[in-house]
Amino acid sequence: MSALRIALIHATPLAIEPVNASFKKLWPEATLQNILDDSLSRDHAAAGHLTADMVKRFIDLAQYAKRAGCQGILFTCSAFGEAIDAAAAAVAMPTLKPNEAMFEDALHAALKENQNEAEALNIGLVATFAASLVSMSEEFNSLVTGLERQVKLHTLFVPHAMEALGQGQAEKHHRLIAEGIQTMPTCDVTMLAQFSMAAAQPIAQVKTSAPILTSPDCAVLALQKRMKNV
């Protein structure tokens, strides 16, 4: 698998270091190509929704990655689910959304934590970019539709944390997330929505006995598994 070249497509520079760190830890043999369009997050925030132009830009980024010789793509931007689906269809190669692996892992972890089939599973989703909660909640609820076990998703937006991280105030970023998790209902497992939040996991985990999952680690392991036969 050492020859595999993976494109990491980012909508914010804050996602680059966390996912590269996860690859270094979990799949160091992969060759990485980081592709950044940091205007995407700003444009999404300004528009308030995903636009047709943004979808086209995601397709363009995926096609560029394919032309560059990448055999797999991992998107790290959590607020663009429909655009990623369109990009995956356009390039017809292994393409992973940033959160789909974490969703699956969260369900398995919640079932392990709460084995009382008469009770609903309670899963938390914490974000520092408000738009992520909308698209991720839709994706997660679609995933659990039809399950025999009831699943309740509890969401939390942590204001000012992303701004703090962007200004180099990592400790403040981590503290705000940890403090926010303490205000949530009791959950069987909690997910940190964005790749940029991964470094807050150790501090946040101290605040709760329930597992806290990060998207980079889950995504790297899932993509590695998916590409074994490539």
pLDDT of residue 1: 43
Say if residue 7's pLDDT is above 80.
yes
CA–CA dist 152, 220 (Å, integer): 26
Q: Mean per-residue pLDDT for 122-141?
A: 92
pLDDT of residue 230: 61
**CA angle 217–207–98, rounded 5-degree value:** 25
Q: Mean per-residue pLDDT for 40-47?
A: 91
Top CATH class of 100-214 equals: alpha beta
Q: In this structure, is the dihedral angle defined by the CA atoms of residues 103, 76, 53 and 86, taken in order, positive or negative?
A: negative
CA–CA dist 227, 184 (Å, integer): 37
Full-model pTM: 0.84
Identify the burial level of 146 via C-beta atoms within 10 angstroms of its C-beta, where 0-12 means exposed, 13-18 middle and 19 or more buried: exposed
pLDDT of residue 45: 87
Top CATH class of 5-98+217-226 equals: alpha beta
Say if residue 128's pLDDT is above 60.
yes
Q: Mean per-residue pLDDT for 74-81?
A: 88
Q: Mean per-residue pLDDT for 107-120?
A: 93
Say if residue 202's pLDDT is above 60.
yes
pLDDT of residue 229: 64
Say if residue 211's pLDDT is above 70.
yes
Domain definitions of the chain by residue range: 5-98+217-226, 100-214
Sorting pLDDT into bands at 50, 70 and 90, what band is 135? Answer: confident
What percent of the chain has pLDDT above 70? 98
The answer to whether 6 and 71 have CB atoms below 8 angstroms apart is yes
What percent of the chain has pLDDT above 90? 80
Task: Let me know if the fold of 5-98+217-226 is the same as that of 100-214.
Answer: yes
Closest to 129 measured CA to CA, from 162, 164, 102, 171: 162
CA–CA dist 117, 181 (Å, integer): 25
pLDDT of residue 204: 95
Closest to 191 measured CA to CA, from 136, 134, 99, 126: 126
